[in-house]
């Protein structure tokens, strides 16, 4: 059992090396990468924006209640923006990304494997690592930070909607407290680094699970499930490690 | 072909939207939004203790932000803190006998430099130095003094002191 898991981790690591080696070759198929960014990024916008809005609204509501106990509702903007930039934006976006884009990548590549399309590509001297795996991996790295930024922006908007428009917090207090205590590099940019790493991890796991799936319909089903489970665990664990280093 | 064009346009829109969101977050919701644009001039001030004053802390007159702390350095010979203030060029009519003081916003808030305008007809020029400064008030010192002397020691308080003659010597330092 432990041997199997170790073998899985090792195979995934070797697979990552294979993808990195195939990236220069995949740049010749740059259009395929763009198509994947559209597929995993632009097509995920609706769910990311909706969830960002509601997460921001809930944060605004909950923190307003908690802060009002201490008479500190003026700090609402600060607390919401710091929570979003540093933690919730990257992590929740990564979890949604795994559910929305990771599963479809796994299912697509798994079906390619099951219907021998990958073998056919190899026969035609098209390297599937460069044409199938690497573009999806790159698309994950590019799309995740952008999605996380959209998520954060909508979250701030949601918190502003609840805190200022509905609960009557002062608009100037909300923004000035936020701008005086949020730092570009320590908060915003660190969140972007995090989401880049999460995008790479989720895309890697999704591509790997699809690429190595048993070529059966049951195998594809299991691989899709494993993508969500593994990427959620790895994202949350990596989040802790990265937070400790980026602090 | 139209299919390909539409997804390329969609991807482009997505990337532009993502970067627009990043630019918005970085410039409108962070301390970058407080950065002053436009020309500025520099004034210097010496303090014996700057407390928790940090770089980019605000400089205020009458509570209105007119600049920021540009540089904090220790004078190697006089052993006091040399603080460079960068002020907005629009507010270049500060009398040259004004005083600079380090205050705390709120009880436990961040510290800032407050300029109390004087009455001199001469105005500060770029690179000038404040003659009158007031260092930050150390809460610990205040508490320490309070604990030792049993209250602020003012000459007018002496009437109430004879009850504990020993503390009179202590407060003289």
B13 touches chain A (CB under 8 A): yes
Q: Do A156 and B25 touch (CB under 8 A)?
A: yes
- Measured between alpha carbons, how far apart are the two ends of chain B, in Å? 89
Report chain B residues whose CB lies below 8 A from the CB of A31.
4
pLDDT over 70, % of chain A: 100
- In B, residues 108-167, which contact A (CB 8 Å cutoff)? 110
**pLDDT at A208 > cutoff 70:** yes
B21 touches chain A (CB under 8 A): yes
**pLDDT at B171 > cutoff 80:** no
- The pTM of the full predicted model, rounded to 2 decimals, is 0.75
CB pairs under 8 A between A and B: 85
**pLDDT at B164 > cutoff 50:** no
B8 touches chain A (CB under 8 A): yes
The answer to whether the CB of B31 falls within 8 A of the CB of B57 is no
Domains of chain A: total: 1
B16 touches chain A (CB under 8 A): no
- Cα angle value A104/A108/A114 (rounded, 5°): 140
A81 touches chain B (CB under 8 A): yes
B39: distance to nearest CA of chain A, Å?
22
**pLDDT at A237 > cutoff 90:** yes
Q: Do B21 and A153 touch (CB under 8 A)?
A: yes
A192 touches chain B (CB under 8 A): yes
Distance CA B121, CA B94 (A): 9
- Average pLDDT over every residue of A41-59: 94
The structure tokens listed for A103 are 């599963």
Q: Which of A120-124, A132-136, B128-132 has the lowest mean pLDDT?
A: B128-132
Q: Select the residue of B8, B28, B33 nearest A34 (Cβ to Cβ).
A: B8
Report chain A residues whose CB lies below 8 A from the CB of B29.
81, 156, 175, 178-179, 182
A212: distance to nearest CA of chain B, Å?
29
Report chain B residues whose CB lies below 8 A from the CB of A188.
22, 25-26, 30
Nearest to A11 by CA among A230, A235, A199: A230
A178: distance to nearest CA of chain B, Å?
6
DSSP class per residue in A137-158: HHHHHHHHHHHHHHHHHHHHHH
Q: What pLDDT, in 10s, does the model give residues B56-92?
A: 788 889 988 888 888 899 988 989 999 999 888 888 8
- Average pLDDT over every residue of A112-124: 92
- Average pLDDT over every residue of A130-135: 93
Report chain B residues whose CB lies below 8 A from the CB of A163.
none
**pLDDT at A85 > cutoff 60:** yes
B36: distance to nearest CA of chain A, Å?
13
Q: At what angle do helices A89-97 and A45-69 cross, to 10 degrees?
A: 150
Q: Do B25 and A152 touch (CB under 8 A)?
A: yes
pLDDT of residue B166: 46
Q: Select the residue of B21, B26, B34 nearest A150 (Cβ to Cβ).
A: B21
Q: Select the residue of A39, A41, A182 nearest B30 (Cβ to Cβ).
A: A182
B18 touches chain A (CB under 8 A): yes
Which range marks the domain in which residue A83 is found?
2-246
């Amino acid at each position: 059992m432990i041997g199997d898991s170790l073998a899985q981790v090792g195979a995934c690591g070797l697979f990552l090396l294979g993808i990195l080696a195939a990236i220069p070759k995949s740049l010749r198929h740059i259009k395929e990468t763009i198509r994947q960014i559209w597929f995993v990024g632009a097509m995920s916008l609706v769910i990311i924006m909706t969830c960002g809005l509601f997460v921001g609204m809930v944060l605004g509501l909950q923190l307003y209640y908690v802060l009002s106990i201490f008479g500190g509702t003026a700090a609402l903007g600060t607390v919401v923006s710091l929570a979003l930039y540093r933690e919730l934006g990257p992590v929740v976006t990564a979890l949604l990304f795994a559910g929305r884009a990771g599963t479809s990548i796994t299912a697509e590549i798994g079906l390619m494997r099951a219907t021998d399309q990958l073998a056919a590509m190899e026969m035609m001297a098209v390297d599937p690592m460069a044409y199938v795996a690497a573009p999806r991996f790159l698309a994950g790295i590019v799309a995740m930070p952008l999605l996380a930024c959209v998520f954060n922006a909508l979250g701030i908007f949601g918190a502003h909607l609840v805190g200022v428009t509905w609960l009557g917090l002062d608009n100037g207090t909300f923004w000035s407290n936020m701008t005086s205590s949020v730092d570009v590099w320590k908060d915003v940019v660190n969140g972007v680094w995090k989401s880049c790493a999460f995008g790479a991890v989720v895309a890697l796991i999704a591509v790997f699970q699809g690429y190595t799936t048993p070529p059966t319909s049951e195998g594809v089903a299991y691989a899709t499930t494993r993508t969500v489970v593994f990427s959620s665990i790895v994202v949350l664990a990596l989040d802790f490690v990265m937070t400790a280093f980026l602090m | 072909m139209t299919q390909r064009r539409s997804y390329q346009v969609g991807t482009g829109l997505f990337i532009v939207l993502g970067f627009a969101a990043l630019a918005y977050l970085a410039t409108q919701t962070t301390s970058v939004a407080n950065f002053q644009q436009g020309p500025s001039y520099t004034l210097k001030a010496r303090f014996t203790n700057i407390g928790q004053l940090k770089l980019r802390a605000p400089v205020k007159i009458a509570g209105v932000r007119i600049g920021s702390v540009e540089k904090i350095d220790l004078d190697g010979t006089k052993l006091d803190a040399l603080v460079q203030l960068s002020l907005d060029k629009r507010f270049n009519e500060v009398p040259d006998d004004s005083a600079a003081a380090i205050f705390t916003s709120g009880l436990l808030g961040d510290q800032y430099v407050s300029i109390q305008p004087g009455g001199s007809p001469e105005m500060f020029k770029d690179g000038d130095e404040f003659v009158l400064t007031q260092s930050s008030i150390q809460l610990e010192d205040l508490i320490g003094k309070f604990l030792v002397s049993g209250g602020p020691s003012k000459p007018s308080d002496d009437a109430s002191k004879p009850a504990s003659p020993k503390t009179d010597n202590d407060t003289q330092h």
